[in-house]
Structure 1
Amino acid sequence: MGRVEGKVALITGGASGIGLSSATLMAREGAKVVIADFNVDSAQEAAAKIKSEGGEAVGIFLDASQEASIEEAVDFTVKQYGTLKVLFNNVGVTNLRKDLDVVNMDLDEWDRIMNVNTKSVLLGSRFAIPHMRKAGGGSIINTASMAAFAGDSVRSAYGASKAAVVNLTRYIAAQYGKDKIRCNGVAPGLILTPAAKQSMPPAVLDIFAKYNALPYHGEADDIGHTVLFLASDESKFITGQTIQVEGGHYMANPSIADFNQFLAQA
């Protein structure tokens, strides 16, 4: 207990999945948490559950596509709790129907994804950093993706937006490290959030399982615990890094699963 005792954290996209896990874990470890989400009812329900378990949290509305809404979320956090020490930029969007290959993608969707996935990280950090300076430092954590590190047949805009998040993380870390502000990213692979469980057919999950080094899929808490670590002083000498949490899916020769199957049948 107490790994982030006394810290104030703003978590965007915090009403479900990875954001909710991170908010819950931080609150259990002593942080005061602001859960900002487009689904404000779910954000408030999440905050109420945290408070019922003895934590401190509040849920607010956030439209991560709007600069003013991001600024308001930061300002609310500081007014509510007096400071800001942790920012988890976690909002992200994707669209498998419109974000296709480079020739066929919807260009308006490219702009929307870049605006939400990348610009919201820039703006959240832009508004949070002055408060962190006043507080004597802080930790910014950005949700990237393994899509930033590998090509794919679709989701070109999503992959590009997350690659930008990885490098923006380095730039923020380089520019504000002397202010004791750290900036790191976390890059999930396939994580079985409620949304993923609803949208992923069993056959697709089987494909991912085949190529994972580990014999199971990731859960939201696997990312939440990584975020908690990056928010805590346990990671005080880590900055500019993006931690890949993906079950070893991307680390090996891509043919290894098929080759192992061949050897087993030989």
Structure 2
Amino acid sequence: MADAIRMDGKVAIITGGAGGIGAATARLLAARGARVAIADIAFDAAQAVAGSIDGALAVPLDLEQEASIEAMIATVSAKFGRIDVLHNNAALLGPDIAAADGDIEHMDTALWDRTFAVNVRGTMIACRAALPHLRASRGNVVNTVSNLALQGHMIQAAYSSSKAAIIQMTRAIAASHGIHGVRCNAVAPGMTMTPALREAFPPALRQAVEDETLRDQLGAPEDIAEAVAFLASDAARNITGQVLVADGGCASHVPGIARFRSFFAGDQ
């Protein structure tokens, strides 16, 4: 098992690979020997990332369009001759979307529908199209979800609900396709310091999350990439149908730990 984390000879698709967690994952998988396809609606950015990785392929992808998703899978298969890993990382989550995604009482139906169309329906179609290839290669799926899919929050009701649906899809694929040698797992990041988040998220709210983190800092895209790469590798060959929470411990402790820290620090 010493070389089980290596990806030599394998082909990995990373959706939402043009930046943040996706780009970090593409670089890490390539460094471990995989040939990578970077799929994103931001095709120019995907090409830029692919251009920085030897032998990488950029593929346009619109998760709202079934034909675009199926074309992505067909393009990668034709280019590389196989597919071993599908990393469903793309999601509808820009600053404007996040600002509009609040509680259920004030939820816009169109936003809810579009969130589920991109995040859940798009992920389902990608898995459906990839599964025949993954069955042939005894490959696997790694879905990016969120620790918000496991916890209640006063914001991002549509996003968190869609990610919870993907967790159940993860289990369903693992249960139905494990007998064919296909694994399916999910990674649940917490707040991750991507350049987009650093620019758009209010510093006071970011500090509130950081205070509840058990590490001394928030996670970076490279931290999540390591979790994805592990699950995608043969080192995780006995792991399927699971959610790996990679949120620096935010979801693991009693509420309000930051206040407890302050109390006991003052008592010392």
Q: How far apart, in 1, do the equivalents of 2:261 and 2:34 lie? A: 46
CA distance in 2, matches of 1:244, 1:234: 18
Residue of structure 1 equivalent to 2:23? 20
Which amino acid in structure 2 is aligned with residue 102 of structure 1?
I
In 2, Cα distance between the equivalents of 1:240 and 1:117?
A: 19
Question: CA offset at residue 74 of structure 1?
Answer: 0.3
How many pairs align?
261
In structure 2, how many angstroms separate the alpha carbons of the residues matched to 1:177 and 1:12? 23
> In the alignment, which of 5, 8, 31 is matched to residue 5 of structure 1?
8
Alpha-carbon deviation of 1:205?
Answer: 2.1
Once residues 90 and 117 of structure 2 are traced to their aligned partners in structure 1, the CA distance between those partners, rounded to angstroms, is: 11
**1:148 and 1:160 in contact (8 A); partners too:** yes
1:97 Cα deviation after fit: 3.0
Structure 2 counterpart SS, 1:97: helix
Aligned equivalent of 2:243:
242
Check the 8 A contact 1:15/1:36 in 2, yes or no.
Answer: yes
Is residue 200 of structure 1 aligned with residue 195 of structure 2?
Answer: no
Q: How does 1:1-266 map to 2 (within 5 A)?
A: 3-51=6-54, 56-94=55-93, 95-135=97-137, 137-266=138-267
- Where 1:34 maps in the other structure, the secondary structure is strand
1:260, 1:50 → 2: CA distance? 44
CA shift in 2, pair 1:96/1:134, >3 Å = closer
Deviation at 1:260, TM superposition (A): 2.5
Structure-2 separation of matches of 1:175 and 1:189: 28
Unmatched tracts of structure 2, length 5 or more: none
Code of the residue aligned with 2:129 in structure 1: it is F
> Take 1:255 and 1:77, find their aligned partners in 2: how far apart are those partners?
46
Q: TM-score, normalised to structure 2's length?
A: 0.94
Identity %: 41
**Mind listing any 5+ residue stretches in structure 1 that lack a counterpart?**
none
8 A contact 1:19–1:90 mirrored in 2: yes
1 CA distance for matches of 2:99 and 2:207? Answer: 22
Partner Cα distance (2:78, 2:32) in 1: 22
Q: 1:217 offset after TM fit, Å? A: 0.7
SS in 2 for 1:91: coil
User: Matches of 2:160 and 2:44 in 1, distance apart?
Assistant: 30
Partner of 1:96: helix, strand, or coil? helix
Measured in 2, the distance between the counterparts of 1:170 and 1:96 equals 27
* AA at the equivalent of 2:76: T
